[in-house]
Structure 1
Amino acid sequence: MKIVLQNVLWLLFFVAYQYFCLASESVTIGILFNEGSHQSEIALNSTLHKKNTFDQKAFFKSNVLQISNFDSFEASKTLCGMLEADYGIAAVIGLESPTRAILESICNHFEVPYIMTSWRPPTRKQTDTVFNFFPEAELFAQALAEIVKSLQWGSFVIIYETEEGLIRMQEILKLQDYKRNSKQNNILVKQLGPGNDHRSLLKEIKNATENNIILDCKTEHILPILQQAKDQNLLSLHNNYLLTSLDAHTLDYGELDTTANITTIRLFDYNTDDFKNTIRRWELSPFDYYSKRISLEPNQIKTETVLFYDALLHLTDSINDLMYTEKSITPNPINCFEQTKSKNGYIFAAYMKERKPSLSLSGPLKFDDNGNRIHFNIHVVDILDNQVIADWYASNSSLVLRRSSNDTEFAAVANLQKILVNVSSRIGEPYLKYRESEEGKILYGNDRYEGYSMDLIQEVANIIGFRFEFHLAEDKEYGKWDEKKKKWTGLVGDLLERKAQLAVCDLTITHQRREVVDFSMPFMTLGISILYKKEEKKDINMFAFLDPFSVSVWIYTATLYLIISVVLYFISRMTPGDWENPHPCDENPEELENIWDIKNCLWLTLGSIMTQGCDILPKGISSRMAVSMWWFFSLIMTSSYTANLAAFLTKDRMEPTIDGAEALSKQTKIKYGVVDGGSTMAFFRDSNFSTYQRMWTNMLATRPSVFEKNNNDGVKRVQAPKGQYAFLMESTQIEYEIETKCDLKQVGSSLDTKSYGIAMPMNSPYRSAINKAILKLQESGKLNDLKNKWWKEKRKDPSCENFDVEEKSDSAELALANVGGVFFVLGVGIAIAVMLAIFEFLWNVRSVSVEEHLTYWEALKVELKFACNVWITKKRTKPVISESSSSSSHKSDKTDDKSMIHSFLQSAGSFMNLNN
């Protein structure tokens, strides 16, 4: 019953509506629709219903025709048929169509206002009666360029479908001066080929290691292209897309299941109350009551529909305004084959250009003299969180960012938390190594590895809140440009090929790598230094003083010493000059004596070769001749020994030593090298410093090659037993190696300053979050704790801190070990002398006991008592065995005391020159 009553009420309302409307002037509007314009039809019916219901000056009718999208002749016939109608056409609204150029030309020729709602190439042709509610082409291109600049992409690829799309990109192309075959070109331009399969093109872009893509194509082609991009691993976390289609917001991106950053643009904000209320009115249009209704979601409204509604509203409002001013705009029929033109079309078009619209869904409206829209706003939208991140205003050509840096970082972190982050690394202690598993237990995932890199990423992940998994780079390299393959290898290659979101190890931040990937702030600072082997400990030779002469020379010399002594003994006995008067006062002695017994001969020859001389000398001519020859021999031998002794004791110091790069570069005996393809190699190759250039030239010329595959090979080469080789590597790695390898040392200071950082794809949105995490770890001291953990605490081998390695002094001083044999000889000689003295003393005691008829112990007691009395300097020929009484003994003691006092005073007087 209610439905019947509602139908009756609607019928009565419609009759009343027709009655009152017929009293107004009827105005017909021409509408040229194409396929798929259902939303625009709803907007048309709703708008005309509202205008005819509430505005009393004009009654609006519509002449709706379908137009061909491919046949220009057929399209022109359709338009001419519309203009020839008896009631005429006040204005024509045409939607997007490839035949728009011919339609625009016809309407402009007959001065019929023609309203467009689609993009039109820039033109300088005067079009007085043509309007375009789509943004003016050059301003639209400028807006796209400003948006791309705001995204801060260092490089990107433009993928366009038609030539019109390339025209829309003209301002973006001006962001860089293109140079043919230049590696500095950061803009690649690619056109979609025919058909629906574009995987080959996307694979080419992937090989170009480009993450930022501008896609200009039809709305219905966006999702298929993105799906193919996903198949090529071009739709991951670090990929960024800008979709230039103004209807990209109508698509459902959920089926892609991606964390890529997809940015779109649109001319209106469908979240406002005015927009939602307008869409709700379209749904309640009575002209669609008996037809099947569809629900219109604000986010599904196309830009064409919104612009059509704004054009229709602006057109009808302009007609009503003219009606109120009693100006007639009654249209007249026009024959395309005659010269008849619209009577009021030019005036009406001029008024529409000047009139400021009261309401529009697509933002501010303003037209130039050619009917181009020069006032509009473009909203930049992030698809994943459906948030407007920026607005571009054509009125002052400015871009205003809505989302702060914190919001951008928050969104990036949220995306990072949705995925399992792949971390690329390489095996190399202490940064990453294989974990030792328990017996019979198989390890998986991150449990397979341990090290500084693993702990560092774990700490960063705990702060940011993401999950990660380590993967090893296939070629186990840090990352260098392979000229043959024309691609980056190693960890950098994994990032560029989208195999990983992060890369961490002892990866140095270099300008070559920085051109293709991003780095976090440094988590470790270091420099290039020299690793060299410590001088080996040599066996201590206490008899090093014997080295100047060979064993045979020593034997010959000792033998010759004995022979010369014996020969001198016989010569002295034969020559008359060595027989002397024992009593000089007796002029005619009965006997002559010769002092050159074998003992004195041995003493003379020994004193000569020791360069100490002797208190007695020969007097005979022949004996002096023999001694002179012996002296000459001693001079040569002693001088030769002294010279050779200095050379032998310091010969180790004649070996080449290095204390830095300068000393290393000036010698040729010690070879030196670096890791092939590493950052250290690049440092020497690109350095302009003369010392480093000389070192690089020498490394290239040295054969066999001094370049090693990795640090481990370089360390092993330094440790080689016979090889004199120095290895240039990062100071932190040297610290790690010398911590337990006690035969190695670091030479000199660092040659430069460099840093290790966490690598990630270029323009990664989560870079700021990782930087904050590293800064937090640095301030808390966690980075230093991690270094101590893996450089010292986790080492299996004992530390070298307490390892006593004797370093060679740089001075010319001799150590005790070098001359220890001299001390040994001295000690042995003194010991023998003491033993001989004791033997002589005991033999003398025996002689005394025999001569004096005493027991051996009595004689020993007397001699020991005398020897221990150091104050007595004179000795009786015969020792006093006993005294008659104690008084005698006491007297003797007094005599001895007086003698001792007298001796002391005499010595003191002699010292003070008092005896004179």
Structure 2
Amino acid sequence: MKNGSWVIYFLLLSILQTLVLSNKYKIGAVFEKIDRKKSSMFRLAGTISNVDIVTETVDKLDFLSASHAVCKMKREGVAGIFVPPTGSTSQHIASECQALDVPFIRNLVNVYLQPQVLNELYVDLVKTMQWKTFTLLYEDNSGLLRLSHLLKTFSPVTLRKLDEKRNYMEMLLEMRELGEKNIVLDCVTGALPDILRQAQQAGLITPQHSYIVTSMDLHTVDLEPFKYAGANIIGLNAIDPVNKDLEMVAMESQSVNVSSAFVYDTVSVYSHVLEQMNLSFIPRECERESRPIYISSIKKYIRENEISMHGITARIELDKKGNRANMMLQVVQLQEDGLITVGTWNSSDKLRLKLQPQPRRFVTKKLPEKHFKVLTIISAPYVMRKHSDQHLLGNAQYEGYLVDMFEEMSHILGFTYEFILNYEYGSLDPQTNRWTGMLHELQTQRADMIVADLTMTSERFAAFDFTMPFINTGISILYYKSVPHLGISVLSIFSFELWLYLALSLIFMGLMFFILA
């Protein structure tokens, strides 16, 4: 009896194991040799999602090997094939899968960000930061295509291509000379440390400079050297920090980049769809199918059902075409405590972005340690040379309304300063497009500020930050007031006296002709 119970137990266990294995799908993937991190993430996602993983590795642009890989996976009965969007054989494998009725996962379940969505986000960011003009640093022409909507929306925009050998110093120094302070940085994540380091050496990582970094892997970069510089560095983050699977994934990888996170979510969502459909995939020969049964069935299910779940890249919702909808992104800002979330952006509520400025404590904390170089110009009664029998040095050489006011400000805020005398206010040279005088010194960061009776014109206001006017200098807008014309405007060509002499001469000539007749 006892032996009979054990036999029944093993029979039931075998049946349950068969049922479980029959519902376990195989998902294939084709990676290039450089995609090791994505490949490991794909395997991890398969383990967590309870699916079998089949992977093949091919060389870049090796279309023949890619075709063989697809055929091999079809013979193994895979439920779908995944290829990263950056793969050189991606389009080729998609065509092969369509012909062989093997689901190409990204054409069915696309959790990646759409380029037009990112373009709208960048436009919202620039508008929120109130940039009047900015410089776009890009790596290649594909970057210009990705940011085409941004370039069409704003003008003027300065375009600068990054050096392939990563020697950016000459370009960065020129940017400092021209006073370019608002920068959109589009490059691969690996180039960010070099660019930011050289920008700091060139004096472009200061409280006067703002950056929008398009890479969503800013959290993987060591930003420790730039945390206390005061520059406004803004980035994007697609990874949900409170996701339950993130901790498990982070145990396998020290830093999860966004491309790996999208790989993980693709496997999770697709396996979820397969579980709901309960399809059965059998091994088939590598032959072209006249009717794509599997692909049509999955497309129909996605079209007729609502697909939503939580992934590493926040909440995932698919539209009727299988593309991601209502994508939520976090906007992060580099502060003293690291990257801090300062706003969110949603593809359906695009204008809900709220950026927070740098905290005021940053300014008040740093001012007692600051020493400012202050440009000024002799202009009574604001700044004048002090007459004295003694030999005066430094700030003691000057007196005047602005000198006294700035001295009082330094006592209140606790900073130190030195006046640097200049002899020209400065204007924009239309030929070189560069500023002259004090404005040139300020633009090239040879001084921190100008304290002078400098008139705020629209041209200067577009390039420099002014304090609000606190005194009226008496200069007003002058315009020509036209004199009302007489009824017969043709008479205005000559003066009244000339018309009088002309009339008298005509009368005199008439009388002379009458007398002579």
TM-score range, shorter chain: 0.7 to 0.9
Question: Among residues 342, 347, 372, which one is paired with 1:389 in the alignment?
Answer: 342
Question: Among residues 294, 297, 310, which one is paired with 1:347 in the alignment?
Answer: 297
Q: How far 1:102 moved relative to its partner?
A: 2.5
Q: Percent identity?
A: 22
Residue equivalent to 1:208? 178
**Residue 246 (1) aligns with residue 216 (2):** yes
Q: How far 1:419 moved relative to its partner?
A: 6.8
**Residue 95 (1) aligns with residue 101 (2):** no
Q: How far 1:415 moved relative to its partner?
A: 8.2
1:123-142 matches, cutoff 5 A: 129-142=107-120
Residue equivalent to 1:399? 352
Match of 1:235, SS state, is: coil
Residue equivalent to 1:367? 318
**CA distance 1:138–1:295, change in 2 (3 Å):** closer
Residue equivalent to 1:736? none
Residue equivalent to 2:415? 467
Per-residue CA deviations over 1:804-845 (Å, capped at 9, x if unaligned) read: xxxxxxxxxxxxxxxxxxxxxxxxxxxxxxxxxxxxxxxxxx
Segments of structure 1 that go 5 or more residues without pairing to the other structure are 1-14, 53-59, 117-128, 177-184, 285-293, 529-682, 692-916
Per-residue CA deviations over 1:464-503 (Å, capped at 9, x if unaligned) read: x463533526x53122223565421222222322333422
Residue equivalent to 1:28? 26
Q: How far 1:191 moved relative to its partner?
A: 2.6
**CA distance 1:21–1:190, change in 2 (3 Å):** farther
Question: Among residues 271, 282, 294, which one is paired with 2:249 in the alignment?
Answer: 282
CA distance in 2, matches of 1:389, 1:303: 19
Q: How far 1:310 moved relative to its partner?
A: 1.3
1:175-214 matches, cutoff 5 A: 175-176=153-154, 185-214=155-184
**Residue 156 (1) aligns with residue 104 (2):** no
CA distance in 2, matches of 1:409, 1:98: 42
**Residue 76 (1) aligns with residue 66 (2):** yes
**Residue 255 (1) aligns with residue 204 (2):** no
CA distance in 2, matches of 1:330, 1:457: 79
Segments of structure 2 that go 5 or more residues without pairing to the other structure are 1-12, 483-517
Match of 2:153, SS state, is: coil
1:125-524 matches, cutoff 5 A: 129-176=107-154, 185-256=155-226, 258-270=229-241, 272=242, 275=243, 277-282=244-249, 296=254, 300-323=255-278, 328-333=279-284, 335=286, 338-339=288-289, 343-352=293-302, 354-385=305-336, 386-401=339-354, 403=356, 408=358, 410=360, 413=363, 417=367, 420=370, 422-428=372-378, 430-432=381-383, 451-461=400-410, 465=413, 467-472=415-420, 476-483=423-430, 485-524=432-471
CA distance in 1, matches of 2:138, 2:148: 12
CA distance in 2, matches of 1:415, 1:138: 41
Q: How far 1:51 moved relative to its partner?
A: 3.7
Residue equivalent to 2:480? 689
Counterpart code for 1:322: M
Tell me the C-alpha RMSD between the 2 structures. Answer: 3.6
Q: Work out whether residues 105 and 270 of structure 2, in 8 Å CA contact, stay in contact via their aligned partners in 1.
A: no
Counterpart code for 1:113: P
Q: TM-score, with normalisation over the residues of structure 2? A: 0.78
CA distance in 2, matches of 1:236, 1:251: 19
Q: TM-score, with normalisation over the residues of structure 1? A: 0.46
Q: Work out whether residues 383 and 399 of structure 2, in 8 Å CA contact, stay in contact via their aligned partners in 1.
A: yes
Match of 1:189, SS state, is: strand
Residue equivalent to 1:63? 54
Counterpart code for 1:227: R
Q: Work out whether residues 216 and 243 of structure 1, in 8 Å CA contact, stay in contact via their aligned partners in 2.
A: yes
Counterpart code for 1:362: T
CA distance in 2, matches of 1:521, 1:267: 39
Q: How far 1:263 moved relative to its partner?
A: 0.5
Q: Work out whether residues 186 and 215 of structure 2, in 8 Å CA contact, stay in contact via their aligned partners in 1.
A: yes
Q: How far 1:410 moved relative to its partner?
A: 2.0
CA distance in 2, matches of 1:397, 1:260: 26
Match of 1:318, SS state, is: helix
CA distance in 2, matches of 1:418, 1:261: 21
Counterpart code for 2:298: F
**Residue 526 (1) aligns with residue 473 (2):** yes
Q: Work out whether residues 186 and 213 of structure 2, in 8 Å CA contact, stay in contact via their aligned partners in 1.
A: yes
CA distance in 1, matches of 2:216, 2:441: 35
Q: Work out whether residues 234 and 498 of structure 1, in 8 Å CA contact, stay in contact via their aligned partners in 2.
A: no
Q: Work out whether residues 139 and 186 of structure 2, in 8 Å CA contact, stay in contact via their aligned partners in 1.
A: yes
CA distance in 2, matches of 1:466, 1:399: 39
CA distance in 2, matches of 1:65, 1:488: 59
Match of 1:515, SS state, is: helix
CA distance in 1, matches of 2:386, 2:285: 88
Q: How far 1:41 moved relative to its partner?
A: 4.9
**CA distance 1:161–1:437, change in 2 (3 Å):** farther
Q: Work out whether residues 219 and 247 of structure 1, in 8 Å CA contact, stay in contact via their aligned partners in 2.
A: yes
Q: Work out whether residues 27 and 89 of structure 1, in 8 Å CA contact, stay in contact via their aligned partners in 2.
A: yes
1:731-750 matches, cutoff 5 A: none
Q: How far 1:170 moved relative to its partner?
A: 2.0
Match of 2:86, SS state, is: coil
CA distance in 2, matches of 1:73, 1:368: 31
Question: Among residues 40, 47, 57, which one is paired with 1:49 in the alignment?
Answer: 47
Q: How far 1:388 moved relative to its partner?
A: 2.0
Count of aligned residue pairs for this structure pair: 463
CA distance in 2, matches of 1:102, 1:418: 63
Per-residue CA deviations over 1:734-785 (Å, capped at 9, x if unaligned) read: xxxxxxxxxxxxxxxxxxxxxxxxxxxxxxxxxxxxxxxxxxxxxxxxxxxx
